Amino acid sequence: MTASAPLPVQTLRLADDRETEDLAAFLARLIHYDRAAAVRLQAGGGALAVFGRPPSFEVLAIRTARLGEDVELDVTVSAGELLESLGGADVTVPAAVTGPPWAGVLPPRGGWRELPGLPEVAAMHGAVAAAVTEFRTRDEALPAERRTRAERDRIGREIWSRTVGGTGLPLRAVHAAQSLGFLRPGVPVALLSAGVWLRLRTPFGSVAVRTGGLGTLSVTPRQAG
């Protein structure tokens, strides 16, 4: 008799309420930028990785959480439905959705090496603030006939594509990390590399960029909220 295939994971048990709160905060940030946001969930080895892509930043945001049990899972779901399911340690996994293109191109799990040249956190916060000010100044200086979305995106792309310190990390990755609450004063940060990927890692989450490109999005800066 042929054994039946195992049923998909229907629930996940997070390690404690703190993991639930941190995951909820991350999902709320994603939904703030995109109410229809989807996230890809990968569970294994007692940990859950949640991948999302906030609009405007052209990066992947990654939040991990400790699980109270070791289960295997790989599914793309609605970020809003997942957030609604959080109320305690037990999380109901929403129905799968058709994943956006980015969900099929994730960073590798291993093979990361640390790179030098990353500035201090305070300096990175300063660089983001200066970039936002520059964008606003240049936008306000545009004559009315040139104040179009295409022109504003061109200026934004020029500013946010600049690299940080002596690294190849684009400033938009730092902006995303700050806006998502990952980049906080006094926390340790590291810049990692694996193949075509760069990853800004903090204790609160990571931001990854693929140097080969993931398509073109608007890069008009948003206020970190």
The secondary element (H helix, E strand) that includes residue 39 is strand 38-44
Distance separating alpha carbons of residues 174 and 55, to the nearest angstrom: 15
Q: Where are the domains of the chain?
A: 11-101, 113-193+200-206
Output the pTM of the full model: 0.86
Tell me the angle at which helices 149-160 and 171-179 cross, rounded to the nearest 10 degrees. 100
- Give 172's contacts (C-beta < 8 A, 6+ positions apart): 57, 58, 59, 160, 161, 209, 219
What confidence category does residue 212 fall into, taking pLDDT thresholds of 50, 70 and 90? low
For the stretch 23-66, pLDDT in tens is: 999 999 999 999 999 999 999 999 999 999 998 888 999 999 99
For the chain, the residue count is 225
Its CATH architecture, for the domain 11-101, is: Roll (3.10)
